[in-house]
Amino acid sequence: MSSGIYPEDAVILAPLSGYTDMPFRMSARRHGCRFAFTEMIDAGSLVFGNEKTLRFLTRHEDEDWLGIQLVGSDVATLSKATEIINRYEFSVIDFNLGCPAPKVAKKGEGAALARRPDEALKAFESIKLKSRFPVTAKTRILDETDPAPTIKFCKRLEAAGAEVITLHGRLAKNFYSGRVFTEIISAVRENLRIPLVANGGITGITSYNQIRSESGSSRVMLARGVMGHPWLFAELADPLSYQPPTVSELADELEQHINDMIEFYGEELALRMCRKVILDYTSGRGYSGQLRASVSFLKSIADFAVFMAEVRNGPSERYWKWLENNVAADRRIRP
Q: Which residues contact 225 (CB under 8 A, 6 or more apart)?
A: 201, 202, 203, 204, 207, 232, 330
Q: Which DSSP category does 326 fall into?
A: -
Options 33, 99, 154, 274, the catalytic residue? 99
Q: Please tell me whether residues 40 and 121 are part of one structural domain.
A: yes
**Domain of 301?**
247-319
Q: Please tell me whether residues 76 and 221 are part of one structural domain.
A: yes
CA 99 to chain centre: 11
Look up the CATH number of the domain holding residue 285: 1.10.1200
Q: Please tell me whether residues 171 and 265 are part of one structural domain.
A: no
Q: Please tell me whether residues 16 and 100 are part of one structural domain.
A: yes
Amino acid occupying residue 169: G
Assigned domain for 5 exists: no
Distance CA 89, CA 291 (A): 41
pLDDT tens per residue, range 171-202: 867 667 678 889 999 999 999 999 999 999 99
Q: Using alpha carbons only, what angle is made at residue 190 by residues 14 and 12, rounded to the nearest 5 degrees?
A: 15
Spatial contact of 123 and 44, defined as CB atoms under 8 Å apart: no
Q: Please tell me whether residues 232 and 257 are part of one structural domain.
A: no
Q: Please tell me whether residues 150 and 283 are part of one structural domain.
A: no
Last residue of a domain, one of 185, 211, 237: 237
DSSP-assigned letters across all residues of 3-38: -SSS-TT-EEE---TTT-SHHHHHHHHTTT--BEEE
φ, ψ dihedrals at 207, nearest 5°? -70, -30
Assigned domain for 224 exists: yes
Residue 154 is a catalytic residue = no
Mean pLDDT over 137-160 rounds to 96
Assigned domain for 225 exists: yes
Assigned domain for 103 exists: yes
Spatial contact of 110 and 175, defined as CB atoms under 8 Å apart: no
227, HSE (Cβ side, Cα atoms, 13 Å): 18
pLDDT computed for residue 73 by the predictor: 96
Distance CA 304, CA 84 (A): 38
Assigned domain for 138 exists: yes
- By percentage, how much of the chain surpasses pLDDT 90? 90
Q: Please tell me whether residues 230 and 273 are part of one structural domain.
A: no
pLDDT computed for residue 286 by the predictor: 96
Assigned domain for 158 exists: yes
pLDDT computed for residue 177 by the predictor: 67
Q: Please tell me whether residues 63 and 87 are part of one structural domain.
A: yes
Q: Which residues contact 210 (CB under 8 A, 6 or more apart)?
A: 182
- Within 10 A of 51 (CB to CB), how many other CB atoms are there? 7
Last residue of a domain, one of 237, 259, 285: 237
Q: Please tell me whether residues 75 and 174 are part of one structural domain.
A: yes
Look up the CATH number of the domain holding residue 48: 3.20.20.70
Mean pLDDT over 303-328 rounds to 96
Assigned domain for 327 exists: no
Q: Please tell me whether residues 211 and 308 are part of one structural domain.
A: no
Structure pTM?
Answer: 0.95
Distance CA 33, CA 65 (A): 10
Distance CA 15, CA 39 (A): 5
Mean pLDDT over 284-309 rounds to 96
Cα dihedral 45, 51, 55, 57 in deg (nearest 10): 40
Assigned domain for 118 exists: yes
pLDDT tens per residue, range 12-50: 999 999 999 999 999 999 999 999 999 999 999 999 988
Distance CA 31, CA 16 (A): 18
Q: Please tell me whether residues 311 and 191 are part of one structural domain.
A: no
Q: Please tell me whether residues 186 and 266 are part of one structural domain.
A: no
Last residue of a domain, one of 211, 237, 263: 237
pLDDT tens per residue, range 62-116: 999 999 999 999 999 999 999 999 999 999 999 999 988 889 889 999 999 999 9
pLDDT computed for residue 3 by the predictor: 52
Number of structural domains (the chain) is: 2
pLDDT computed for residue 1 by the predictor: 40
Q: Which DSSP category does 334 fall into?
A: B
pLDDT tens per residue, range 224-243: 999 999 999 999 999 999 99
Alpha carbon distance, N-terminus to C-terminus of the chain: 44
